[in-house]
A and B are shown apart, each in its own frame.
Chain A
Amino acid sequence: MDAPSRGNAVRWIGPYSLRTERHLGGLPRSTDGTRFGDSRQGTLRGEGRCRRRVPEPSGVLRRLFLRRYPGHMADAPKVITAEELDAMSPNQRAQVVREHIVTDLDHLPEAFRQRVETTAARLAEQLRPVTE
């Protein structure tokens, strides 16, 4: 087959665009193509199960999703249990913690932000050398 020209490059890089989408944080792709898969895959291979809409026990999908892709579900922080952390690899744990770092004190609830500021001021006061 001839090498692709610039004109049909989009068609040629199709599979790679899927990979890119995954790397950029798109929906995870399952190995069996039935759940959490790419929508095209789901339509072709998991149609029956998708259409039946088998109800899942409450929270199961959310937990599975968050375990593999922590931080992608919503902006609101989700507390992870110690058991869930136990099941993670050290790298996964580190990634989860990094994703939960707060970058602006204004994003904190007012009460906690005030507590943080008050405590910091108190600690700084204790650290200052005593001068006559």
Chain B
Amino acid sequence: MSPRRQVRVAPSFFDRLDDLLPADRSPTGVPSTADFLLHELPPLIDLLAVDYEAATLAVEDVPEVRVLVASGVLITRLALYVVLADDDSVEIIYLEIDHEL
């Protein structure tokens, strides 16, 4: 079993989250930033900590950044962009959300 890595979230991630999701949960089902941070993100962080390589995908010609793509939990699709730091910890640097079905 691989050792558990430390996972950090960069400020750029939170800036992006504020751009993508509203502060309050909407009646049409769009989750709020708090919903995302409370429900969606913790299991993803846990997954990155436990199994970084298997949970993330390499992007062609972009070896520096890996992507964790999750589909259909609170939102249709999301992509977490992560990098491996010098101290072997995982840093989440950016977020992409797709609301299209």
Contact = CB atoms under 8 A, between A and B. Distances in A.
22 contacts: A79-B75, A80-B72, A81-B29, A82-B32, A82-B35, A82-B39, A85-B35, A94-B42, A108-B77, A117-B59, A117-B62, A119-B79, A119-B81, A120-B65, A120-B67, A121-B59, A121-B62, A123-B64, A123-B94, A124-B65, A127-B83, A128-B64
B29 A97 contact: no
Most buried by A among B32, B55, B77: B77
Contacts, number: 112
Interface of A: 77-82, 85-86, 90, 93-94, 96-98, 100-105, 108-109, 111-112, 115-117, 119-121, 123-124, 127-128
A97 to B, nearest CB: 4
Q: Which 3 A-B pairs have the closest CB atoms?
A: A77-B72, A97-B43, A102-B69
B67 A116 contact: yes
Q: On chain B, which size bracket covers the interface?
A: 35 or more
Given A82-B31, A105-B59, A123 B65 contact: yes
Interface in B64-87: 64-65, 67-77, 79, 81, 83
A92 B32 CA distance: 20
B73 A111 contact: no
Contact of A120 (B25, B46, B59): B59
A83 B26 CA distance: 12
Most buried by A among B25, B40, B62: B62
